[in-house]
């Protein structure tokens, strides 16, 4: 953290701590002032790549070699599936291996990530948004239908004498428990969908950052999350119960006041589809 009154660390030369780091070494990933550039490249001028600091994000940064720490990898070993430097290429450990230009791999990876991101933005994310909108609408519908259910029970209750009030209250509690279970199930399902949408949005942001980044390692370690995000969770099926009044028989008050049917909470595999 910069001290009070000091310049932002992002502008400091990493050699002399001068606050005017106008240059950048793409090989060492170091910020430099113009005065320190000469001493920085003196040991091996061919290895270092000096650019203006404002151009650093447009400059390709090759990955560091895992075996030769002071080397950058310009090739990619197909057999080992790993970046390699010039020393690795000529070593016995990669004898007769096939090497590819790492910038070609970098370009292809960028294209793959770009295509995956397009799918996330144009297909997967709109699908989740549509599904969530549908479930939110169904949640409101369930609330309304439960209100209607309770209203119908109250209308029926007024026909009966006071002695059945306890039965009515007991049945209402049962209905409210059903409602709570269904609403809880819907809220949990909705939260799951929103969490998955967040993962889609985070994947888009991550992919965009990789696309805009000149760092090859970020692209080489990229993992496509689209297949898992395209596997939607099972669709929640809600069936709101209804009230069916029966003929009044005082000796069968408990049985004849009414029955509640149609309550269910289930999941339908494949109920959600990708938006075309």
Task: Give pLDDT tens digits for 126-139.
Answer: 999 999 999 999 99
Task: Give pLDDT tens digits for 140-158.
Answer: 999 999 999 998 888 877 7
Average pLDDT over residues 13-38: 84
Task: Give pLDDT tens digits for 72-109.
Answer: 888 999 999 999 998 899 888 888 899 999 989 999 99
Least confident of 22-26, 54-58, 68-72, 138-142: 54-58
CA 164 to CA 253: how far, in whole Å?
7
Task: Give pLDDT tens digits for 192-221.
Answer: 999 999 999 999 999 999 999 988 888 999
Tallying the residues shown for the chain, one arrives at 276
Write a three-state SS string for the chain.
CCCCCCCCHHHCCCCCCCCCCCEEECCCCEEECHHHHHHHHCCCCCCCCEEEHHHHHHCCECCECCCCCCCECCEEECCCCEEECHHHHCCHHHCCCCEEEHHHHHHHHHHHHHHHHHHHHHHHHHHHHHHHHHHHHHHHHHHHHHHHHHHHHHHHHHHCCHHHHHHHHHHHHHHHHHHHHHHHHHHHHHHHHHHHHHHHHHHHHHHHHHHHCCEHHHHHCCCCCHHHHCCCCCEEEEECCEEECCCCCHHHHHHHCCEEECCEEEEECCCCCCCC
**47 vs 190, residue with greater confidence:** 190
pLDDT of 115 higher than 50? yes
- Could you give phi then psi for residue 152, rounded to 5 degrees? -65, -40
pLDDT at 248: 59
Which of these, 63, 38, 12, lies nearest to 214 by C-alpha position?
63
pLDDT of 161 higher than 80? no
Average pLDDT over residues 214-241: 92
Average pLDDT over residues 15-37: 83
pLDDT of 169 higher than 70? yes
CA 106 to CA 268: how far, in whole Å?
42
- Could you give phi then psi for residue 65, rounded to 5 degrees? -75, 135
pLDDT at 72: 85
pLDDT at 253: 66
Name the average pLDDT for the chain: 86
Name the token pair of 157: 């209750």
**179 vs 61, residue with greater confidence:** 179
pLDDT of 4 higher than 60? no
Assign 43 a pLDDT band (cuts: 50, 70, 90).
Answer: confident
Assign 1 a pLDDT band (cuts: 50, 70, 90).
Answer: very low
Q: What percent of the chain has pLDDT over 70?
A: 91
CA 127 to CA 133: how far, in whole Å?
10
Q: What is this structure's pTM?
A: 0.52
Chain-centroid distance, C-alpha 198: 5
């Amino acid at each position: 953290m910069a001290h009070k009154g000091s310049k932002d660390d992002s502008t400091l030369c990493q050699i002399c701590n001068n606050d005017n780091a106008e240059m950048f070494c793409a090989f060492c990933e170091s910020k430099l002032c113009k005065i320190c550039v000469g001493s920085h490249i003196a040991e091996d001028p061919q290895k270092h790549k000096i650019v203006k600091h404002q151009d650093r994000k447009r400059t390709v940064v090759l990955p560091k070699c895992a075996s030769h720490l002071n080397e950058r990898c310009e090739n990619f070993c197909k057999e080992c599936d790993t970046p390699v430097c010039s020393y690795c290429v000529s070593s016995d450990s990669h004898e007769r291996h096939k090497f590819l230009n790492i910038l070609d791999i970098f370009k292809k990876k960028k294209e793959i990530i770009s295509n995956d991101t397009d799918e996330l933005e144009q297909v997967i994310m709109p699908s989740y948004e549509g599904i969530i909108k549908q479930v939110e609408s169904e949640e409101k519908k369930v609330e309304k239908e439960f209100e209607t259910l309770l209203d119908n029970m109250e209308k029926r209750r007024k026909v009966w004498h006071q002695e059945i009030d306890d039965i009515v209250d007991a049945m209402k509690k049962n209905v409210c428990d059903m409602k709570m279970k269904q609403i809880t199930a819907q809220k949990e399902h909705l939260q799951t969908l929103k969490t998955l949408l967040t993962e889609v949005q985070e994947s888009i942001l991550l992919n965009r950052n990789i696309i805009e980044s000149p760092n090859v390692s970020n692209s080489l370690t990229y993992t496509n999350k689209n297949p898992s995000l395209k596997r939607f969770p099972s669709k929640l099926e809600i069936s709101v119960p209804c009230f069916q009044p029966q003929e009044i028989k005082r000796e069968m008050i408990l049985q004849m006041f009414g029955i509640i049917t149609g309550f269910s909470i289930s999941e339908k595999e494949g109920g959600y589809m990708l938006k075309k």
